Chains A and B, each alone.
Chain A
Amino acid sequence: MPEWWPPVEFDPSQFNPERISSYYLDFSIVFDNWQAILQALLITITLALLAEVIGIALGLALSLLKISRSKLLSFPAQLYIDLFRGTPLLVQITIIYFALAPVGIRFSSLFFAGLTALALNSAAYVAEIFRSGIQSIDKGQMEAGRASGLSYAQTMRHIIVPQAFRRVIPPLTNEFVMLIKDTSLVSVIGLAELLRAARVLQSATFNGTPLIAIALLYLAICLPLIYLTNILERRLNRRTA
C-alpha cells in the first residue's frame, strides 16, 4: 500500500459471529414492530406508484414540448429537464420541504412534499425516455400520417405515441424501480416511509436488523420488476431485430 493510501483497519479479533447475528439478524425486533413496518411499506409503495403516474403524465407532456420546433415551447421544457436531472434528488427534496417557505410555498403534508419532489424529478427522466422513444419511430410514420390528411397533433396522438409507448415500457419499468429506491431519500424530511421507520427502530434498539429487513423488502419489490424489465427488453429486441 502506498503511504498516502487512507488507512482501513480490519481487526480480525473484532470479528464476532455471535454479535453479528444478534446485530443483523434479530428479526424479533421486526416482528414486534410489524405494524410500523407495514405502514411504512404502504407509504413507500403509494408514494412510488403516485409519483410514477404523475411523472409519466408530466414527462410525456414535457417530451412533446421538448421535441416541438417552437423554441418558445422547447426551451422551458429543456430548462426544466436540465434543472431536475442536473441536481441531486436529495437536494430537491430538502429544498422543496425546508426551503420554499420564503416564496410562500409551505407543505403541511410530508407525504405531498415528498410526492411532489419525486414526481417532478421523475418527470424529467421520463421526458427523456419518451423523447428518445418518439424519436426512435421511423420518420416515415409521421410522413405517412401527414400524407393521409392527419394533422401533426393527430399523427402524434394516433400513430407515433402509441408505437413509442411500447418501446418505452422497459425503460419506464426501469425508471419505476429507481423511483421505488429513491423514495428512501424522502426519509430526510421525516416522512415515515421504510427507511425512516427502520432508522427509528434502529435508534431505539441500537440494532441493525430493521435496516436489513427493509433492504430485503426493497429487494422483494424491485427484483421481480428488474426481471420483468429484462423479459420485456428481450421480447422487444426479438420483435425489432
Chain B
Amino acid sequence: MAKKLRLTVLAALFLASGSLAACGGGGGSESGDSGGEEGGGSGGGETLTIASDIAYRPFEFDQGGEPVGFDIDLMNEIGNRAGFTPEYQNVTFDGIIPGLGSNLYDAAISAMTITPEREEQIDFSDPYFDADQSLMVPEASDVESVEEGLESSVVGVQIGTTGASQAEGFQQDGLIGEVRTFDTIEDAFSALDNGQVDAVINDLPVSQDRVNQSDGALKLVQTIPTGEQYGIAFPQDSDMVEPVNQALQEIKDDGTYAEIYEEWIGRAPESIPGEETTGE
C-alpha cells in the first residue's frame, strides 16, 4: 500500500514536472525548438532561458501556444546573430527581476523600462524601444487627462510596472483617488471593461493596441511623455550583454528593426532608440 502510494506520488510529480517544462518552454519545448530551427539555421548554439511575462500585446503574447510579438521577434533575431536559441519562460512581470537576481534566467525581454532602481539589481542592454505612458478610459468617459477628472477615480495598473509607479506618484499629488494593482495588464483591462476601474495607466503601445481592438469602446486621452526606454534585462555582470548589444546594433542599422516594428506596432518607428543620441 505504502509503496503503491509512493509510486503514485512519484508519477504525479513526474507528470507535473513534465507539464511545467512544457510551460517553461513557452508553448512546449518541442515548439520552442522548432521555432529556433526555422528562424535560426545559425546552428543553434546554446539554448538560453529568456523570461517574459507573455500577456502583453503586442510585445509578447500567446498565439496558439507559441509566444509571438515584437519582443519575441527581436529576441529571436538577436539569438540568430549572437548564436543562441532563446527558450521562453512565461513568468509574472514582478517576478522577473528577483528571478534574474537568483540566476533563474539567462535574460529577460518583457517590455521592461530601464530605470535606475532596476539597474541596481540587474544589467540592461542598450535601449531597444522608445515608450511613453498613456491614460486609457472608456469611450463614454469625461476624463480628459490625469490632471482633470481623476481626483475621485480608481485607476488600474499592473503591479511592478513604470505605469504603476507613475500612478502612485499622481496619487500622492492628489490627482488620482485610488490606484489598484493587478497581476497582469489583462486583469486591469478587464476591470476597465467591467467598469470596475475608471482608467488604466500603462505603456502607450500596449494600450494603443488594446484601443484598436476594442471596437471603439475605449480611447486614449493622454500620452504621458516619460521618455522611457525598454531594455533587455540580464543578471548582474552577465557576459551576454556585449554580444546582445552588438546584435541589437546590427539589427537597428540594417533595417530589420524597422521591419519588426512595423509588423507589430503597425507603423514605421518615429525613432530608433540610441540612434539620435550620439556617443551611446
Contact = CB atoms under 8 A, between A and B. Distances in A.
A138 B193 CA distance: 55
B194 A190 contact: no
A200 B97 contact: no
Interface residues of B, number: 29
B17 to A, nearest CB: 4
B105 to A, nearest CB: 13
B101 interface: yes
B31 interface: no
Contacts of A11: 103
A42 B104 CA distance: 35
A148 interface: no
Interface residues of A, number: 23
A206 interface: yes
Given A14-B103, A106-B195, 13 more contacts: A23-B101, A98-B194, A101-B193, A108-B196, A110-B180, A189-B187, A190-B181, A190-B187, A199-B94, A200-B164, A203-B159, A203-B164, A208-B98
Interface of B: 14, 17, 20-21, 94, 97-98, 101-103, 117-118, 121, 156, 159-160, 164-165, 180-183, 187, 190-191, 193-196
Given A6-B21, A98-B191, A101-B194, A202 B94 contact: yes
B180 A200 contact: no
A206 B191 contact: no
Nearest to A207: B98
A57 to B, nearest CB: 27
A11 B180 CA distance: 38
Contacts of A98: 187, 190-191, 194
Contacts of A196: 181
Nearest to B160: A203
Contacts of B94: 199, 202-203
B113 to A, nearest CB: 13
Contact of B180 (A107, A190, A203, A208): A190
A110 B103 CA distance: 36
A200 B182 CA distance: 10
B158 to A, nearest CB: 10
